[in-house]
Chains A and B, each alone.
Chain A
Amino acid sequence: EAGVAQSPRYKIIEKRQSVAFWCNPISGHATLYWYQQILGQGPKLLIQFQNNGVVDDSQLPKDRFSAERLKGVDSTLKIQPAKLEDSAVYLCASSLGVGGSTDTQYFGPGTRLTVL
Chain B
Amino acid sequence: AQSVAQPEDQVNVAEGNPLTVKCTYSVSGNPYLFWYVQYPNRGLQFLLKYITGDNLVKGSYGFEAEFNKSQTSFHLKKPSALVSDSALYFCAVRDRETGANNLFFGTGTRLTVIP
The answer to whether B36 and A55 have CB atoms under 8 Å apart is no
Q: Is the CB of B46 within 8 A of A105?
A: yes
Contact with A along B73-115 (1 / 0, CB 8 A): 0000000000000000010101010011111011110000000
Q: Are A103 and B44 in contact (CB under 8 A)?
A: no
From A41, A95, A101, contact of B107 by CB (8 A): A41
Residue in B closest to A104 when the chains form the complex, CB atoms: B46
CB-based contact A107/B36 at 8 Å: yes
CB of A34 to closest CB in B, whole Å: 11
Whether A109 and B41, one on each chain, are in contact in the complex, defined by CB atoms closer than 8 angstroms, is: yes
User: Least Cβ distance of B107 to chain A in Å?
Assistant: 5
- Asked if B102 and A33 sit within 8 Å, CB to CB, the answer is yes
Task: Tell me if B107 and A40 are in contact (CB < 8 A).
Answer: yes
B11 CB, nearest partner CB in chain A, Å? 16
Interface residues of B in 31-51 (CB under 8 A from A): 32, 34, 36, 41-46, 49, 51
CB atoms of B103 and A105 under 8 A apart? yes
**A107 and B44 contacting across the interface, CB-CB below 8 Å:** yes
Question: How far does the alpha carbon of A102 sit from the alpha carbon of B36 in the complex, in Å?
Answer: 15
The answer on a CB contact under 8 Å between B90 and A107 is: no
Expressed in whole angstroms, the minimum distance between the Cβ of B41 and any Cβ of chain A is 7
Task: Please give, as numbers and ranges, the residues of chain B lying within 8 Å of A112 by CB-CB distance.
Answer: 41
Give chain B residues whose Cβ lies under 8 Å from the Cβ of A108: 43
Within A35-65, the residues touching B (CB, 8 Å) are 40-45, 48, 55-56
A105 to B34 CA separation, bound complex (whole angstroms): 10
The 16 listed contacts between A and B (C-beta, < 8 Å) are: A4-B43, A42-B4, A42-B105, A45-B102, A45-B103, A55-B101, A56-B101, A91-B43, A102-B51, A104-B46, A105-B103, A106-B46, A107-B36, A107-B43, A107-B44, A108-B43
Not counting A40-B108, A42-B106, a sample of 8 additional A-B residue pairs whose C-beta atoms are within 8 angstroms of each other reads A41-B108, A42-B4, A42-B105, A43-B103, A45-B102, A100-B101, A101-B99, A112-B41
